[in-house]
Amino acid sequence: MSDNNNNNDNDTGGRSDARRKYACLKLNDVDDVKEIIRLVIQEIFDEESVVENAGRITNLLQVFLRAADSAKLEEIVSRLKALEEGKQ
C-alpha cells in the first residue's frame, strides 16, 4: 500500500514522467517540432512498441516532413525577398 502512495505515476499512467521529460522543450520553430518528433519516435523504438504505434509513427513522420517543407519554404521566401530588394 505504501508503494502506491509514494509513486504518483501509477495514478496518472506515467504521464508525469513524460511531462517532466518534455517540459524543457518549446515549440518556437520548426527545429523544435522536429526534435520532439524525433524524441517520441525514439522512445517508441526503445520500448519496442513499434508495431502497436505504427499509426502514430506514420502521423509523426508526416508532421516532420511538413515541418521540413515549411522550413524550406521560409528559406525560399527570404531568398526571394533578398533578390527583390537587390533589384530596387
Report which of 85, 60, 15 is spatially closest to residue 7, judged by C-alpha positions: 15
Residue 80 lies in a domain: yes
pLDDT of amino acid 23: 65
The answer to whether residue 40 is domain-embedded is yes
Q: Is residue 44 part of a domain?
A: yes
Q: Write out the H or E segment, with its range, that includes residue 44.
A: helix 30-46
Is 35 a domain residue? Answer: yes
pLDDT tens digit sequence for 14-66: 555 656 666 666 777 778 878 888 888 888 888 888 778 888 888 888 888 88
**Which range of residues forms the domain containing residue 64?**
26-87
**What is the reported pLDDT for 1?**
41
Give me the number of domains the chain comprises.
Answer: 1
